[in-house]
Amino acid sequence: MEKPGCNSSYSKKEIQQLRYLSREEAEAIEKELLEEFRFGQQQLLEILGHACAMAVAKVFPLHSLAKKQPTLLVVCGCEQNGAIGLACARHLRVFEYEPTIFYPKRSSNPLYRDFTTQCEKMDIPFLSYLPTEVQLISDAYNLVIDAVLGVEANLGEVAEPYISVLSTLKQIRIPLISLDVPSGWDVETGSSEGISPDVLVSLAAPKRCATRFMGKHHLVAGRFLPYDVQKKFELNLPEYTGTECVVSL
């Protein structure tokens, strides 16, 4: 005869499911971090940019790159996702990669401007246009990082230069790494016709569109969420090893 306590003890051992966030949940978490926990935007950009660089270096360590020069291209939008891309590029430069940035529409936000200046002053080259001939991109770079559009993007309003940029990224034949949300994808429903990144780096916690991701590597990067936030939003994040800030799913 089964003891009455058995079921509850069994359920404790069940693996709790990782939560994929809706746009509303992602925004609520950010609001809570900024308002309740008093994190600063500059601080969050720095944490996430560093974590993205760690994720890129984890999947593509320097010695694994096909080309002799450890070149890579970071394509940045003018909102938060782009600013994280700028911070990521800077950290990759420190890790001895050779990033080039394409940042077609610069933000007037002073915070994002500072992240841009840091890259410029560190002699990271900025492209003045993105070649439409993708072979030129494949010849010059080992990989491309897509930091164009993130959670904040309103897909109904995507205009040039991003329409052309996305059309080029869709044809890329070298590894494409998207930060948080593949650009042009809906945060929740993804996209059947958009870009198909090989690597998705979810920031802090995965968004719902990540369930539609079919590429090789899905990582979560950015280990800083207070335990209370994880609990409140029932995130059930994967376990990080040691002091690592990136985890593969």
Helices 80-94 & 41-59, crossing angle to 10 degrees? Answer: 60
Min dist. Cβ of residue 193 to a copy of itself (A): 35
Min dist. Cβ of residue 132 to a copy of itself (A): 33
Residue from 123, 157, 160, 193 in contact with a copy of itself (CB under 8 A): 123
- The span from the CA of 246 to the CA of 220, in Å, is 6
- The span from the CA of 29 to the CA of 39, in Å, is 12
Residue 248 engages a copy of itself in binding (rule: CB under 8 A): no
Residue 242 engages a copy of itself in binding (rule: CB under 8 A): yes
Q: Which stretch binds a copy of itself (CB under 8 A): 21-29, 74-82, 121-129, 139-147?
A: 121-129
Give counts: helices (H), strands (E), the chain.
Answer: 8, 8
Residue from 94, 136, 214, 249 in contact with a copy of itself (CB under 8 A): 94
Residue from 122, 155, 163, 249 in contact with a copy of itself (CB under 8 A): 122
Residue 227 engages a copy of itself in binding (rule: CB under 8 A): yes
Burial of 152 (0-12, 13-18, 19+ CB in 10 A): middle
Residue 95 engages a copy of itself in binding (rule: CB under 8 A): yes
- The span from the CA of 235 to the CA of 19, in Å, is 5
What strands, in cross-sheet order, belong to the sheet with 143-147?
A: 126-127, 98-102, 71-76, 143-147, 176-179, 199-203, 217-221, 246-248
Residue 57 engages a copy of itself in binding (rule: CB under 8 A): yes
**DSSP 8-state symbol, 225:** -
Min dist. Cβ of residue 115 to a copy of itself (A): 8
Q: Which stretch binds a copy of itself (CB under 8 A): 45-53, 125-133, 134-142, 201-209?
A: 45-53
Positions in 100-119 near a copy of itself (CB under 8 A):
111, 113-114, 117-118
End-to-end CA distance of the chain: 39
* Angle value at C-alpha 35, between 240 and 81, nearest 5 degrees: 60
Footprint on this chain of a copy of itself (rule: CB under 8 A)? 36-40, 42-43, 45-47, 50, 53-54, 57, 61, 90-91, 94-95, 111, 113-114, 117-118, 121-123, 223-224, 226-228, 242-243
